[in-house]
Amino acid sequence: MVKKNKKPRNRSFVFLGNVSFQRLIAMLITFLALASMVAYEATPKKYKLSVGSISQYDINAPRDIENTLKTRQNAELKAAELKPVIVPIDGANDNMTSEAYAYFDGLFTLMNRVMESFRKDVDVNALIQEYDTGNDYAVLTEIPPDKLVALFANEGELVGRLKTVVLNSILPAVKRKQIMEDNLAAEKEAALTQIKAIFDDESLYLIAADLLDKVIVPNSRIDEKATEEERNALIETYIKENPVIIYKDERIISKDDIVTEDKFQVLKELNYIDSEGRPDYLLYFAVFMLIFSISFLIALYLKSFHRNIYYDKNAMMLMGVAIIIATLFALLFKEFIPDYAHLIIPTLIAPVITSIFLGIQPAIAVNLLLTFSFALMLNGNIQYIYMSLISGTIAPFLTVNATQRRKISLGGLMLGGINLLIIVLTGILEKKGVENLLNEGGLAFMNGIFSIILAIGILPFLESTFNLVTPMKLLELADPNHPLLKRLLMEAPGTYHHSLMVGNLAEVATREIGGNSLLARVGAYFHDIGKLRRPTFFKENQMDENPHDRLTPSISSRIITSHTKDGEELALKYKLPKVIRDMIVQHHGTTLMVYFYHMATQNGNAEDLQESDFRYDGPLPDTREAAVVMLADSVEAAVRAMSNKTQAKIEGLVRKIIKDKLDDGQLDRCDLTLKDLTTIAESFMKVLSGIFHERPEYPEFEKKNDLKELDNSIYNLPRQNKKDGAASPNGSNSVQPTENNQPAERNH
């Protein structure tokens, strides 16, 4: 019959099934999710506000910021109080004196002419107008002629006195003052008041007023340049020494407040004003690059020191999910409870989950990534950074080996107490009040408990999703009352006790090489459950008859090898975790069943035999725990089949089995070093020496009460010959076990 050609597979998307590609995608999704959510919260919220509008929001300062416009306004108000720089006008005082002399000289000249004209009965006003061509003494025309003549009588004695007062008293006092345009009239009025106080003559008063109006002029001016320089210097000094600071968490503007220019400027500096409606791409770039740098370093660390985790797709996906869950909670609390987000963000979820599944070091790495990422989201809040770094580093140590949920819960209380202490200490540094410390400390304490509760609640979901197991799950599986183990005890008791021994060997050896000893023990308990299908076909469960005596070697080999696949089917039926199922199908790798292969070659047609037909289907063990179970399984079966067990013979057999497995390539896919193999061999010997240690042989006695003979046999004392025969020196009368003529493979 001609077989139809199979439809060629579409290789366009073959890469989707590649584990490395899937791991890369998981890492990329985790990074993008983390960076996007952090960038969203790190980007300032935009508000549609303008100067003079009514605020619809309560906006607090995310950090200390200076209200620069208000600071400058205060500085300018202070500068406005600064007196201007006054400088003298060159020659102004000298000009006042010379002008006064000139005025009086002209006045006396005119006075003489007036007196002559008066005696000749000439019109005085006409005479004044004739001689006063410059109209400098027009004031004289306002004085009645008779009073003017009276004023000039006695050769102008009264005018002379006025001259003396003006030149010797009034002008010197005026010149000592800073006279400018704005106070010129007042100074003239003051000088005139002094003259009026001295002379009681209205006519003289008019002349004095005219004199002072012409003579007194500004002798000072404001130096605009010097004043501006001094003002600017004062403003700059004031701004430096008296900035208006809006402190972190202080209210910038409240709801229903009018948006003033200075507050608008502050909001604009904080990038809070939605003026253009465009994303802040530069800020996004900075956040993404910072988080990428931390993520890259952590990935490099895992690849260098935790290769088993880095190359495990499920482990990397688990870390990614833990990170995303913690980030979602951070986003939620930051969005709806921003004032207390730094105290209640449950960052501990991720390191706790990671430590339970993957160990301490990866958990600490995850905590570092989240701490520095969330610090960007929280504007570098110092309380959060200290709390997350310290608590997140301690948390993995408290939860990594927790085999009971009660112990994890107790760890939550301890972490809450640590959070409380950190918040109080950082609060003291920030000079916070007692009430504030108690409130914040209480929230931080609840954070520790809340994080653990969330982690415990999420564990079952993660176990089923990523086929990973927690210590609690492993302990549940190790319970002797598990249905499969009870079946094994009742239906295949030899296999049951063999599995217990393998579990002891695997647990001790795995612990010594730093692996998951509990996982190795539980995997060993279930590794041979496939024998439940045909328990009597395996030597440890046979009483008298051996079914293989009636079968050909090839059929026997197929029956023996099928127990790994049968075990996998049972494991699926009883919903055992994948990591246990993997151990079941991997615990023989592709080992050759030498006994049946040899029997087949002895039966003829050796050239037609394929060695692969007598090998297990595999796959090879791909974890250290699975490899240790393989070695423990082979060692236990082989040692149990030995006769005349001695320490030297057992040790030689153990090392030979490990070497044969290594040479046969059975350990090629697991991360075991030669040093690890040596440690495993030594661990096996410790366990086996406690089980198969040498015991003294007890001879048979004719008399049950012959205690002396018993003591001699125990302590190797010389034995006395009996009449009915002497005991041989080597105790040949004792019953010796017969050598099992079947190799170790038949016991598997």
Q: Is the pLDDT of residue 161 over 70?
A: yes
Alpha carbons 78 and 85: distance in angstroms, whole number? 16
| Secondary structure (DSSP) of 704-742 | TT-HHHHHHHHTTPPPPPBTTBPPPTT-TTS--PPPP-S
Q: Is the pLDDT of residue 733 over 60?
A: no
Amino acid letter, residue 200: D
Helix, strand, or coil here: 168? helix
Residues 667 and 609 in one domain: yes
Helix, strand, or coil here: 701? coil
CATH number at residue 579: 1.10.3210.10
The predicted pLDDT at position 745 comes to: 42
- State pLDDT tens for residues 559-587: 888 888 999 999 999 999 989 999 999 99
Range of the domain at 326: 287-468
Return the HEC string of 185-214.
HHHHHHHHHHHHHHCCCHHHHHHHHHHHHH
Both tokens of 480, joined, read: 């002797």
> Do 281 and 63 form a contact (C-beta atoms < 8 A)?
no
Alpha carbons 355 and 350: distance in angstroms, whole number? 9
Residues 331 and 429 in one domain: yes
725 in a structural domain: no
The predicted pLDDT at position 118 comes to: 63
The predicted pLDDT at position 273 comes to: 80
Alpha carbons 599 and 641: distance in angstroms, whole number? 19
From residue 71, give the alpha-carbon distance in Å to each of 75, 79, 246, 348: 6, 12, 11, 43
Alpha carbons 208 and 269: distance in angstroms, whole number? 65
Quote the pTM value.
0.66
38 in a structural domain: no
Q: Is the pLDDT of residue 734 over 90?
A: no
Closest Cα partner for 347 from 60, 34, 32?
Answer: 34
87-113 mean pLDDT? 87
The predicted pLDDT at position 730 comes to: 35
The predicted pLDDT at position 276 comes to: 58
* Residue pointed to by tokens 């935009």: 46
The predicted pLDDT at position 281 comes to: 83
Alpha carbons 704 and 165: distance in angstroms, whole number? 160
Alpha carbons 667 and 665: distance in angstroms, whole number? 5
- Lowest-confidence pick of 157-161, 270-274, 317-321: 270-274
Q: Is the pLDDT of residue 679 over 70?
A: yes
Q: How confident is the model at residue 724 (pLDDT cuts 50, 70, 90)?
A: very low
Other CB atoms within 10 A of residue 566 CB: 19
25-34 mean pLDDT? 93
4 in a structural domain: no
Q: Which of 652, 675, 691 is the last residue of a domain?
A: 691
Q: Is the pLDDT of residue 747 over 60?
A: no
101 in a structural domain: yes
How much of the chain exceeds pLDDT 90, in percent?
38
Q: How confident is the model at residue 706 (pLDDT cuts 50, 70, 90)?
A: very low
Both tokens of 148, joined, read: 């003017």
Residues 643 and 583 in one domain: yes
Bond prior to 338 in cis (omega within 30° of 0): no
Q: Is the pLDDT of residue 11 over 60?
A: no
**Residue 599 CB contacts under 8 Å (≥ 6 apart), including other chains:** 553
420-444 mean pLDDT? 91
Rounded to the nearest 10 degrees, the angle between the axes of helix 349-358 and helix 382-399 is: 20
483-495 mean pLDDT? 92
Q: Which residue has the higher pLDDT, 113 or 730?
A: 113
Closest Cα partner for 411 from 425, 396, 421, 422?
Answer: 396
Alpha carbons 438 and 421: distance in angstroms, whole number? 11
Return the HEC string of 322-363.
HHHHHHHHHHHHHHHCHHHHHHHCCCCHHHHHHHHHHCHHHH
Residues 204 and 336 in one domain: no
- Lowest-confidence pick of 23-37, 45-59, 383-397, 435-449: 45-59
- State pLDDT tens for residues 163-191: 899 999 999 999 999 888 888 899 989 99
- State pLDDT tens for residues 134-144: 667 777 777 88
Residues in the chain: 748
Alpha carbons 175 and 99: distance in angstroms, whole number? 13
Longest dimension (CA), the chain: 200
Alpha carbons 161 and 121: distance in angstroms, whole number? 27
The H helix count followed by the E strand count for the chain is: 30, 6
CA atoms within 13 A on the CB side of 46: 10
Residues β-bridged to residue 222: 86
Both tokens of 89, joined, read: 């006008």
Q: How confident is the model at residue 709 (pLDDT cuts 50, 70, 90)?
A: very low
> Do 229 and 44 form a contact (C-beta atoms < 8 A)?
no
484 in a structural domain: no
Alpha carbons 186 and 169: distance in angstroms, whole number? 17
| Residue 252, H or E segment | strand 251-253
> Do 478 and 520 form a contact (C-beta atoms < 8 A)?
no
Residues 438 and 301 in one domain: yes
Residues 218 and 307 in one domain: no
118 burial via Cβ count (<10 Å: 0-12, 13-18, 19+)? middle
Q: Which of 649, 666, 691 is the last residue of a domain?
A: 691
Other CB atoms within 10 A of residue 11 CB: 7
Q: Is the pLDDT of residue 370 over 90?
A: yes
Q: Is the pLDDT of residue 58 over 60?
A: yes
29 in a structural domain: no
> Do 724 and 700 form a contact (C-beta atoms < 8 A)?
no
Q: Which of 659, 691, 723 is the last residue of a domain?
A: 691
Residues 132 and 191 in one domain: yes
Q: For 527-602, where are the alpha helices, taking DSSP H only?
A: 553-573, 578-586, 594-602
Q: How far apart are the first and last CA of the chain?
A: 40
- Which of 428-437, 533-542, 628-637 is the most confident on average? 628-637
12-29 mean pLDDT? 75
C-alpha triplet 33, 35, 38: angle, nearest 5°: 105
Mean pLDDT computed over every residue of the chain: 83
398 in a structural domain: yes
Both tokens of 307, joined, read: 């290769």
What letter does residue 469 receive in the DSSP assignment?
-
From residue 536, give the alpha-carbon distance in Å to each of 489, 517, 568, 742, 746: 14, 31, 19, 15, 11
CA atoms within 13 A on the CB side of 380: 5
Strands 86-88 vs 245-246: parallel, antiparallel or unpaired: unpaired
The predicted pLDDT at position 380 comes to: 87
Closest Cα partner for 727 from 707, 705, 712?
Answer: 712
The predicted pLDDT at position 364 comes to: 96
The predicted pLDDT at position 561 comes to: 85
Amino acid letter, residue 660: D
Q: Which residue has the higher pLDDT, 430 or 441?
A: 441
- Lowest-confidence pick of 299-303, 487-491, 744-748: 744-748
The predicted pLDDT at position 134 comes to: 64
Residues 524 and 452 in one domain: no
From residue 52, give the alpha-carbon distance in Å to each of 47, 67, 262, 417: 14, 17, 11, 49
Query: How many structural domains is the chain composed of?
Result: 3
> Do 302 and 23 form a contact (C-beta atoms < 8 A)?
no
Closest Cα partner for 509 from 524, 531, 530?
Answer: 524
Residues 549 and 451 in one domain: no
Residues 576 and 668 in one domain: yes
Rg (CA), the chain: 54
> Do 108 and 140 form a contact (C-beta atoms < 8 A)?
no
Alpha carbons 231 and 14: distance in angstroms, whole number? 77
Both tokens of 376, joined, read: 């960007």
Closest Cα partner for 249 from 375, 382, 338, 344?
Answer: 338
From residue 413, give the alpha-carbon distance in Å to each of 410, 422, 443, 447: 5, 14, 13, 10
Alpha carbons 93 and 215: distance in angstroms, whole number? 10
285 burial via Cβ count (<10 Å: 0-12, 13-18, 19+)? exposed
Other CB atoms within 10 A of residue 124 CB: 20
Amino acid letter, residue 524: A
**Residue 229 CB contacts under 8 Å (≥ 6 apart), including other chains:** none
Q: How confident is the model at residue 123 (pLDDT cuts 50, 70, 90)?
A: low
Q: Which residue has the higher pLDDT, 307 or 723?
A: 307
Residues 125 and 174 in one domain: yes
CATH number at residue 379: 1.10.1760
627-652 mean pLDDT? 90
Return the HEC string of 281-330.
HHHHHHHHHHHHHHHHHHHHHHHHHCHHHHCCHHHHHHHHHHHHHHHHHH
Alpha carbons 301 and 361: distance in angstroms, whole number? 10
Residues 543 and 628 in one domain: yes
The predicted pLDDT at position 420 comes to: 95
- State pLDDT tens for residues 195-253: 888 888 888 888 888 888 888 999 988 888 998 999 999 999 999 999 999 888 789 88
Residues β-bridged to residue 66: 245
